[in-house]
Amino acid sequence: MQTPISKFDAISQQTIEIREPVLADGAPMHRIAENSRVLDTNSSYAYLLWCRDFAATSMVAEIDGELAGFVTGYTRPARPHTLFVWQVAVDHPHRGHGLGVRMLDALVESCAAQGVTQLETTISPDNPASVAMFASLARRRLATLTRTPLFTADQFPGGHQPEDLYRIAPLTTQEEWR
C-alpha cells in the first residue's frame, strides 16, 4: 500500500489525507454515492468488494478523520496500461476546494508508477462539473483530453443519458517530467 498523503491545511484548519481505500471505507463510500443524487449508486456490497479487490486503483479522501470523497477505478483487463475511472464523488460540504482533482492526481501518480499510460472515463453531457474536473486533471498532468461517443442512451434500460468516453494521455510520473 502506498504512503498516504497527509496535509494540514492552514486556511481551512483541517487535516486532509488522500489514501487507498480499506474495507471500513465501503459503507461511507456507498453513502456519499447515494447522497450525490447524480451517480448510479452501486450496492453496498459492490463498494466493499471495490475496497478489497481494487484498492490499488482507487483513492479516498479523509478530512479530520471523516470520509469526504472517493475515486473508484480499475485497469482494463485487456489493456493493463489503461486506468478506467468509474466513479468520483466528493461529499457536498467539501466540493469546490480541489478535492476531486487532488484524489485523481494522486491516483494517476500512483498508477503511472506501475506502468499506466492513459486514463479513460465516461461522462454524460449533463455533467459539466465532471468535464471541468477531468479537464483540470489533464492540465495538471500536461496531457491531452479527447472525447468520443461510447454508450448511447438507448443502450441503457430505463432512461439514462448517453456516456461519452474521455481519454487523458500520455500519463507519466512527475519524476519523469524532470
Ligand X SMILES: CC(C)(COP(=O)(O)OP(=O)(O)OC[C@H]1O[C@@H](n2cnc3c(N)ncnc32)[C@H](O)[C@@H]1OP(=O)(O)O)[C@@H](O)C(=O)NCCC(=O)NCCS
Chain positions contacting ligand X, by CB under 6 A: 36, 38-39, 87-90, 95-101, 127-130, 132-133, 136
CB of 176 to ligand X, least distance (A): 22
Buried (b) or exposed (e) across 4-30, using 16+ Cβ within 10 A?
A: ebeeeeeeeeeebebbbbeeebbebbb
Residue whose beta carbon is closest to ligand X:
100
Q: How far apart are CA 104 and CA 136, in angstroms?
A: 10
Q: How many residues does the chain have?
A: 178
CB of 12 to ligand X, least distance (A): 13
CB of 123 to ligand X, least distance (A): 6
67/89 with CB nearer ligand X: 89
Q: How far apart are CA 61 and CA 66, in angstroms?
A: 8
Grid cell digits, residue 135: 479537464
CB of 101 to ligand X, least distance (A): 4
Residue 84: closest CA among 165, 149, 146, 29: 165
76/115 with CB nearer ligand X: 76
115/144 with CB nearer ligand X: 144
1/153 with CB nearer ligand X: 153
